[in-house]
Structure 1
Amino acid sequence: MSVTGEHGLEPLRGVELMRAQGRILMALIFRDIRTRFFGSAWGFLIVIAWPLTHILILLGIYLVMGRTAPYGDSIPLWFATGIVPFICFSYMSRFITFGVVINRPLLSYPIVKITDIIFARAVVELLNAMLVVIIVGVIFWSFGIDFMPNDPVEAGYALLASMLLGLGFGAVGAIIAGIIPIWAGFYGLVLVVMWVSCGVIFVPDALPMQLQVPLSYFPLLQCVEWLRSTYYEGYGSTILDRGYVVGWGLSTLFLGLALERLLRGRILAG
């Protein structure tokens, strides 16, 4: 992108170009923040209430069935340690997947790139994930539930890995949705399957080996195992592979960026 001599202007130098792209990215970020958090009071409440609703529903089921937490002595904490990494992944990937479809009119401006939309939405979802973690922590604290992990730094890495994985899946999904818009809606059903199979409601180590082995290749399950390992001593020791999660996140992100370059013209023409 450059401002050409057609209008009597010299091409933008590298630094000026970066600043221009930075301003575009910030404009998209603030636009998405207004849409995400301040579009309506209901929208803001849904962002906050969704993970809490998951926890309350599962807590109610466990109480009715008279079951206890598989690890530790707090059922809400047990579910939160599984739901929060799933939320970090699913919000990131789904919001980015919808990005190109929702913001397609902006792509009529040559200065706005598909990657600008992807990374702007990633920043917004990073802020959203921080908000969710803080609110869940405050609510747990108000009820006397200790939400602090044994290793806070490692817990932070687990959540960042969940969001990196979501960014990668979202980047690929955004390109697919840019060509096949119905994919954005179908991905919601995919997330339901992921939620059931990612280990939020079961302990992978307790499963038979013939189930445990194939599930260990599911990177989102590894994210849940990673966070829970920072709360429960020895948890996930048989299948947890941190490098595997990071590898998946980086691989899918690079794949998404490669697809964007390859299919950019087709998306813009669509």
Structure 2
Amino acid sequence: MALLAEKPLSYALRENARVISALVVRSAVTRFGESRLGFIWILIEPAAYVGIFLLIHTQLKAHVPFGDNALLFILAGVFGFRMTRGISRKTERAIISNQPMLTYPLVRPLDTLVATFLLETTIWLIICSLFMVGLAISLDRDVIVYPGEFAEGMAAILYFAFSFAAFNATMSALVPRYDTFLSMLSMPLMLLSGVFFMPAEMPPGFQAVLWWNPFLHCVEWFRTSTYLDYHALLSKSYLLGLSTALLTAALVLERLFRRKIID
């Protein structure tokens, strides 16, 4: 009886894996097509952020917010934010982008989210590796001083990115103009995430406001792995707790309103 019970489950898992694999391929073709310019642009975007900051930093002859290298500080901030928001932004549009695929019985809204998330995560991990290795070579030193902390931070960032995207994707399918509201928040979220400054050096009242921004904790967690003595405004429990709450809400809403989301 146990074997009979296991067979349908294993079959369902294999079928689900095939569906997600097919959606990953479809997302990759949609993302890049036959052109390599899409991947090149993804490389240019974080480089542009870093270049603009360094140009302003040089012109103003400003001091480095922390440490002895402005490039390392801003690169850690850019990837802490842009990787999180980049993955979540593409993933939260997965349901809308794959709407025709939802007419097939085997494809569920959650499958489109997982497929897009896997593709975007792979892309951003490759880009992050290229930049961090390149910086380590140029500085002739290790830029990831706490590998364990870096691995934990990356896992937390990816968990939050997927949870945030799942919640936003579900809400966008149910609430008109929700996606427009999200787009308006992108710039304020970046400016308040500590990408260009050290949050722990801000006045206590401002820190209290910044603390509620989950992207700030992504940036700070990323930076703690790149400095030996970085004083972070970081709450790991808040970021993980919020991620769990968002994911739970997304799964409940998706199950309750699946038919409406598909239609």
What's the TM-score, normalizing by structure 2?
0.91
Cα deviation 1:169-213 (Å, max 9, x = unaligned): 100111122234643344232121110101101111111111112
State the alpha-carbon separation in 2 of the partners of residues 106 and 141 from structure 1: 43
Supply the RMSD in Å over aligned alpha carbons.
1.8
Out of 209, 214, 218, the position equivalent to 2:213 is 218
Q: Tell me, what secondary structure is at the counterpart of 2:53?
A: helix
State the alpha-carbon separation in 2 of the partners of residues 154 and 34 from structure 1: 34
Out of 62, 66, 70, the position equivalent to 2:57 is 62
Structure 2 letter corresponding to 1:255? A
CA contact (8 A) 2:167 2:246 kept: yes
Structure 2 unaligned regions, length at least 5: 1-6
Change (3 A) 1:32 1:98: same
What is the CA-CA distance between 1:149 and the residue it aligns to?
Answer: 1.7
Name 2:30's counterpart in structure 1.
35
Out of 80, 91, 102, the position equivalent to 1:107 is 102
Name 1:263's counterpart in structure 2.
257
Q: How does 1:85-100 map to 2 (within 5 A)?
A: 85-100=80-95
CA contact (8 A) 1:225 1:235 kept: no
Structure 1 letter corresponding to 2:92? T
Question: May I ask how many residue pairs the two structures share in their alignment?
Answer: 257
- Structure 1 window deviating more from structure 2 (79-88 vs 33-42): it is 33-42
What is the CA-CA distance between 1:55 and the residue it aligns to?
Answer: 0.8
1:253 aligns to 2:247 (yes or no)? yes
What is the CA-CA distance between 1:146 and the residue it aligns to?
Answer: 3.7
CA contact (8 A) 1:137 1:147 kept: no
CA contact (8 A) 1:88 1:159 kept: no
State the alpha-carbon separation in 2 of the partners of residues 38 and 141 from structure 1: 32
Q: Tell me, what secondary structure is at the counterpart of 2:116?
A: helix
Structure 1 unaligned regions, length at least 5: 1-11
Q: Which ranges of 4 or more aligned residues in structure 1 deviate by more than 4 Å? A: none
Name 2:44's counterpart in structure 1.
49
CA contact (8 A) 1:93 1:169 kept: yes
Structure 1 letter corresponding to 2:74? F
Q: Tell me, what secondary structure is at the counterpart of 1:63?
A: helix
State the alpha-carbon separation in 2 of the partners of residues 202 and 223 from structure 1: 14
What is the CA-CA distance between 1:37 and the residue it aligns to?
Answer: 4.0
Out of 129, 133, 153, the position equivalent to 2:128 is 133
Out of 169, 175, 198, the position equivalent to 2:170 is 175
